[in-house]
Amino acid sequence: MAVHVSRHPLARHLLTELRDVATEPARFRQLAWTLSTVLILEATEHIATQDRKVTTPLEETSGSCLAQGLAVVPVLRAGLSMLEPALQLFPDVAVGYIGLERSHTTAVAHSYYCKLPDLKDRYVLLVDPMLATGGSAAQACSLLRAHGATKLVMASVISAPEGVEALANAHPDVDVYTAVVDRQLNDKKYILPGLGDYGDRLYGTH
């Protein structure tokens, strides 16, 4: 497993604004959209391509085009914020959904919804803004594997070292693309310094 922390200055700038407690939901959603775009571009850097001849207004030349379909699977609900950037970037995209809810007392996630497309031969991108304990991510990866995913990567806005370790133990071949690996989890399994509850900050809920 490899953890790719974005080195792009824009990613660091956007993350800083997302962390700010004063950032209102409308602005938070804007920032999240842009940062998700950066991370999704980085997470799909190894998608398969093939050579293609093309005729410009002046002459024929060679280039490349995508040779592999992409499947994007957000973990509900916060993962939905990372879906639209993927849909905007890729012309051939299949979408699945995994619903996982974490217990506030045990921090263990249980699945309440799973709807997936055909994942065969697709580059599968799991998106969830928070990689905290790693339990939800590991469970989602297991579901994707059971439905035929072979090439599988994860994009997460903010990660905790405990979550990275847990996912690496469960799925050592799944690379993670993230804006930051923060210090640790607190006793309530929230990421520190973090940015609070991503879904609540997106939608103005508590």
- pTM assigned to the model: 0.92
Percent of the chain topping pLDDT 90: 87
Per-residue pLDDT, 112: 84
Per-residue pLDDT, 104: 63
Which residue pairs, CB below 8 angstroms and at least 24 apart, start in 196-204? 196/21, 198/32, 198/78, 198/81, 198/129, 198/130, 198/157, 198/158, 199/77, 199/78, 201/18, 201/23, 201/25, 201/28, 202/25, 202/28, 202/29, 202/32, 202/78, 202/81, 203/25, 203/77, 204/25
Per-residue pLDDT, 92: 82
Measured CA to CA, the distance from residue 92 to residue 51 in angstroms comes to 18
Per-residue pLDDT, 204: 83
Measured CA to CA, the distance from residue 203 to residue 205 in angstroms comes to 6
Where in the sequence numbering do the catalytic residues fall? 102, 106, 197, 200
Task: Give the chain's residues under pLDDT 70.
Answer: 102-109, 206
Per-residue pLDDT, 105: 63
Domain boundaries, the chain: 3-47+66-203
**H or E segment to which residue 154 belongs:** strand 151-159
What is the assigned CATH class of domain 3-47+66-203? alpha beta
